[in-house]
């Protein structure tokens, strides 16, 4: 990703990489070592994306959109919104309702009823000028998709990871995204039986649609 981004110019076509990684912890550029509680036999890789520590492993679709935001005509905040919307639409394909949480990038589901459309109290809302950033509230929620990006010369890399059917135990070895005790789920643990390949196709199509100019 770094090599592709460093070498590209205004004429370079955008790309979307869909990957499945071996078990790996990745630490964001501002990541704190104390959020890795017990790495054990899983390597910790330092990256230059935003955010804190997260886990990648088999059964997770990792999407790396390598996009030219200047050509697309929108800014980083909208890019993040569109990435999250692609996750939400992918979950909706399986009858699951994905939620945004104020102050915490990524997508979450209700643990008691993943299919509920009821609006969260902790959803992002319009902030008044000068008001402090909201403190994330994960009450009753599990994180199903993590987001961490990097933008260099208006080119994006890194991306978003959607949990499909994983061994979730490694999340207990870290404070996911810097939050101690935050529950992490995948589609299989909330009752959705599918395959990595199927989710990758649905998610990839959603990303292509949502990231279009």
- Choosing from 166, 177, 190, 202, the catalytic residue is 177
* pLDDT classification of 132: cutoffs 50, 70, 90: confident
Q: What is the pLDDT of residue 173?
A: 97
Q: CA-to-CA distance for 152 and 190, rounded, in angstroms?
A: 37
* pLDDT classification of 131: cutoffs 50, 70, 90: confident
* pLDDT classification of 127: cutoffs 50, 70, 90: confident
| HEC letters along 155-166 | EEEEEEEEECCC
Helix (H, G, I), strand (E, B) or coil at 16: strand
DSSP state of 211: T
Average pLDDT taken over every residue of the chain: 95
Mean pLDDT of 67-71: 98
Helix (H, G, I), strand (E, B) or coil at 15: strand
23, 39 contact by CB (below 8 A)? no
- Strands 141-152, 155-163: pairing is antiparallel
**What backbone torsions phi and psi does residue 148 show, to the nearest 5 degrees?**
-155, 120
Express as a percent the part of the chain with pLDDT over 70: 100
Q: CA-to-CA distance for 43 and 81, rounded, in angstroms?
A: 30
Mean pLDDT of 63-87: 97
The tens digit of pLDDT for each residue in 141-180 reads 999 999 999 999 999 999 999 999 999 999 999 999 999 9
Angle at 201 between CA 17 and CA 185, to 5 degrees: 90
Residue 26, Cα to own-chain centre: how many angstroms?
13
Asked if pLDDT for residue 23 goes beyond 90, the answer is yes
Assess whether 19 carries a catalytic annotation.
no
Q: Which CATH number fits domain 2-125+136-210: 3.30.420.40, 1.10.357.10, 3.30.930.10, 3.30.230.10?
A: 3.30.930.10
Asked if pLDDT for residue 130 goes beyond 90, the answer is no
Residues 6+ apart with CB under 8 A from 113: none
């Amino acid at each position: 990703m770094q090599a592709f981004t460093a070498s590209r110019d205004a004429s370079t076509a955008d790309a979307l990489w869909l990957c499945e990684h071996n078990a790996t912890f990745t630490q964001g550029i501002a990541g704190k070592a104390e959020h890795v509680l017990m790495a054990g036999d899983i390597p910790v890789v330092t990256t230059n994306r935003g955010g804190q520590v997260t886990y990648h492993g088999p059964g997770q679709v990792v999407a790396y959109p390598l996009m030219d935001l200047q050509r697309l005509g929108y800014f980083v905040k909208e890019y993040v919104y569109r990435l999250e919307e692609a996750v939400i639409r992918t979950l909706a394909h399986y009858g699951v309702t994905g939620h945004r949480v104020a102050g915490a990038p990524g997508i979450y589901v209700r643990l008691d009823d993943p299919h509920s459309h009821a609006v969260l109290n902790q959803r992002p809302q319009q902030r008044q000028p000068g008001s402090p950033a909201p403190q994330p509230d994960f009450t009753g929620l599990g994180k199903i998709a993590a987001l961490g990006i990097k933008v260099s010369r208006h080119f994006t890399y890194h991306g978003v990871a959607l949990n499909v059917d994983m061994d979730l135990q490694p999340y207990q070895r870290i404070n996911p995204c810097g939050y101690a005790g935050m529950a992490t789920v995948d589609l299989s643990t909330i009752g959705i039986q599918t395959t990595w390949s199927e989710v990758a196709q649905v998610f990839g199509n959603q990303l292509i649609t949502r990231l279009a100019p």
